[in-house]
Structures are given as structure tokens and as C-alpha cells.
Amino acid sequence: MPAFSAKDVQTLRQSTGVGMSDAKKALEATEGDFDKAVAYLREHGLASQAKRADREATEGAVAIGRAGNVASIVQLRSETDFVAKSDEFKKVVSELADLVAADGESALDSRAADIEDMRTRLGENISVGKVVRIEAPADGAVDTYLHLQAGRGVNAVVVAVSGGSEQLAHDVAAHIAFARPSYITRDEVPEADVATERETVEKIARNEGKPEAALPKIIEGRLNGWYKERVLLDQSYIKDEKQTVAKFLGTASVTQFAQVVIGD
């Protein structure tokens, strides 16, 4: 059994910019020691890739893949939008997304050489970033939303719903693309974050000289606004702000969602 996990391979790949196969080989050769694996890559002629990986890759593109009741998002990172907008770059990230939807994240290994070729030819830090794969629940559906900018995907969302249709999942995905929630329900928000925010809004209210008797209502009101920024079901639905997303869903529920935005 290897002394490292698939996550270790991904971390090394993202840290050095090398392909998955090279990252795996380096970890195998160094028995899972991360620092030694980085040195191994440099010693075996991959120092140029590692050097490029030091440069920040804040540009890129995202694409969505579909395969039956599965949807995926793949982010391909680059240093410049010039490269990210190229037909080759957009074609590759689209193919990667389809590959993940059909066969899972491990299938990306089969395209490692192609990505390495692009990195070498273009002399730019190009690497796979976030990868998401979501399957529809048995009683529901999955769908997506992709916002394009200059022909490339820059904001991708996948949503799975239980007790709802693909159209419902798509409508919720479009909402998420612009509202950018972090959680589905309030229960998912870390208790420590809630406690910190409650303490903060109480101090603000006291500093504003609010009456002591009014503090509980004021604090809850401001906490509700804070939740609304973060929690999907609390948000006003973008196509009808008179109702919340929870009301829009009706008897359906969102079981899972993911959002990947270039530059975040």
C-alpha cells in the first residue's frame, strides 16, 4: 500500500505544476515525502515546470461536462487571459470536463501529457485546478449553469436536487452563479463563525447606543442579513426577490452544489 494518498498526488501536482503521472512517480520514489518529491522532480529535469509553478496562475477557464445523470466542473488555470481565451485552451478544458463526468477525476491522468505539452510550448504555468463531479440523487436531477466571458467559461455551477427536475436544478444553478452562497442551510454554517458574528453585531449595536431592551431583536435581524449572504435557502431568488430560494424550491430540496469561479 503506498505511503501517500490521491490527495497527496493532487497537492504535489498543484504545487509544482507537473502532470499527475510525474507527481505520483515522485511520491513513489520518495515514499510519500513531499519535500523529497519536489527535489526529485527538479533532479529529473522537471525543474522548469516547478519554476513556472511559482508564478501565480490566476487566469484560466472553467468548463462543464455531462454524462447521463452526472455533471462535472473542471478548472484549467493559466497565468494570462490571452492563453485562457485561445481556442486550444478552451477545447482542452471542455474535453477534460467531459472526461471527468464520464469516468471520474482519475481519468485526467490520461491527458497529463497534453497539458504538459501546452505548458512547455506556451512557457506558462498551466495546470488543472478545482475538479467537481456531482451525481443526481435517485429521486431527482442534476443540472448546471456556465457564465461565459469572451468565449471562455469563468463561472460554473452544478446543482443536484431531490424531488425536482433538471429545469429546477438549472434555475437554482443560475441563481447561485450570481448570489454565490457558501452553504445550503444554516445548519451547515460553522458554529464558531455564527458565534463570532453574533458577538460582533452585538458590539456594533451597543456602540451605536441602541437600547438594551431592543438588542436581542436588532442582533437577530442583523444575523439574518448575515445568513442571507451565505446560505442558499435564505437568499431572495434572483428572478423573483419577493420569495426566498427555499420557497421557490417548494417540496424539492438542494442536496449538493458546487461553484468554481476564475479569479477566486
103 and 138 both lie in a single domain: yes
Among 114-123, 162-171, 220-229, the range scoring the smallest mean pLDDT is 114-123
**72 and 41 housed in the same domain:** no
- Per-residue confidence at 248, pLDDT binned at 50, 70, 90? very high
- Residues 47 and 65 both lie in one domain: no
Say whether pTM exceeds 0.75. yes
47 pLDDT higher than 50? no
Domain count along the chain: 2
Give me the pLDDT at residue 58, please: 80
CA 161 to chain centroid: 18
Report CA dihedral (127, 69, 104, 152) to the nearest 10 degrees. Answer: -10
% residues pLDDT > 70 (the chain): 92
Query: Are 32 and 118 within one domain?
Result: no
Average pLDDT, the chain: 90
Assigned domain for 171 exists: yes
Structural domain for 20, as ranges: 6-53
Is residue 127, in this structure, part of any structural domain at all? yes
Q: 31: Cβ–Cβ under 8 A, 6 or more apart, which residues?
A: 3
Residue 136 is assigned to a structural domain of this protein? yes
Answer yes or no: do 21 and 65 share one domain.
Answer: no
Is the same domain home to 140 and 79? yes
Q: What is the mean pLDDT of the segment spanning 17-37?
A: 84
Last residue of a domain, one of 18, 34, 53: 53
What pLDDT does 45 receive? 62
Same domain? For 134 and 254 the reply is yes
Asked if residue 1 has pLDDT above 60, the reply is: no
User: What value, to the nearest 5°, has the Cα angle with vertex 134 and ends 103 and 132?
Assistant: 75
CA distances from 81 to 85, 92, 152 (A): 6, 15, 10
Is residue 148 located within the same domain as residue 69? yes
- Between 148 and 33, name the one with better pLDDT: 148
Instruction: Please say whether the beta carbons of 60 and 78 come within 8 A.
Output: yes
Is the residue at 150 inside a domain?
A: yes
Q: Could you tell me if 107 and 30 lie in one domain?
A: no
Q: With a cut of 90, say whether residue 53 has pLDDT above it.
A: no
Which of the pair, 10 or 62, is modelled with greater confidence? Answer: 62
